[in-house]
């Protein structure tokens, strides 16, 4: 992956999804940007996360989320991604590709964190 190629191919400030591939063409990482996919791919150039990439431009962050979920589920045996893609801000729809147990785990991730009161006298 080279920065000049990313800048030449991808317009600035577009919502999109992408897949990074190893030098042998195996998918390695799936990602998305809800604001600027070009900037996100340029960051991957510095960490050398992949040798090749593919990308898609989407009209909304919701559409990008759905595509990222589809790619994540289809390619998951090969990916270094281990955490399911997170929903974009203000997007209430769950992943259509998840099993019911996976959906309940994702809902748990979005619950507000509560602190446990400390009882300092109970020693």
Q: Enumerate long-range contacts of 63-66, CB under 8 Å, 24 or more apart.
A: 63/15, 64/15, 64/16, 64/17, 64/32, 64/33, 64/34, 64/88, 65/32, 65/91, 65/93, 66/93, 66/95, 66/96
pLDDT tens column, 4-51: 999 999 999 999 999 999 999 999 999 999 999 999 999 998 877 788
- Phi first, then psi, for residue 65 (nearest 5°) are -60, -45
Both tokens of 77, joined, read 């045996």
| Domain ranges (residues) in the chain | 3-109
Q: Give the model's confidence band at 77: pLDDT under 50 very low, under 70 low, under 90 confident, else very high.
A: confident
How far, in Å, CA of 71 to CA of 103, rounded? 17
Higher pLDDT, 93 or 104: 93
Confidence at residue 94, expressed as pLDDT on a 0 to 100 scale: 82
How far, in Å, CA of 47 to CA of 52, rounded? 13
Domain range 3-109, CATH architecture: 3-Layer(aba) Sandwich (3.40)
pLDDT tens column, 50-75: 889 999 999 999 999 999 999 999 99
Q: Within its chain, how far is the Cα of 66 from the centroid?
A: 10
């Amino acid at each position: 992956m080279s920065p000049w190629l990313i800048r030449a191919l991808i317009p600035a400030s577009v919502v999109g999804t992408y897949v990074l591939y190893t030098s042998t063409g195996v998918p390695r990482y799936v990602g998305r940007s809800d604001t600027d996919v070009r900037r996100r791919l340029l960051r991957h150039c510095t960490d050398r996360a992949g040798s090749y990439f593919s990308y898609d431009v989407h009209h909304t962050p919701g559409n990008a989320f759905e595509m990222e979920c589809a790619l994540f589920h289809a390619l998951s045996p090969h990916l270094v991604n281990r955490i399911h893609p997170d929903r974009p801000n203000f997007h209430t729809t769950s992943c259509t590709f998840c099993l019911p147990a996976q959906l309940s785990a994702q809902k748990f991730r979005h619950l507000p964190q509560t602190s446990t009161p400390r009882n300092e006298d109970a020693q």
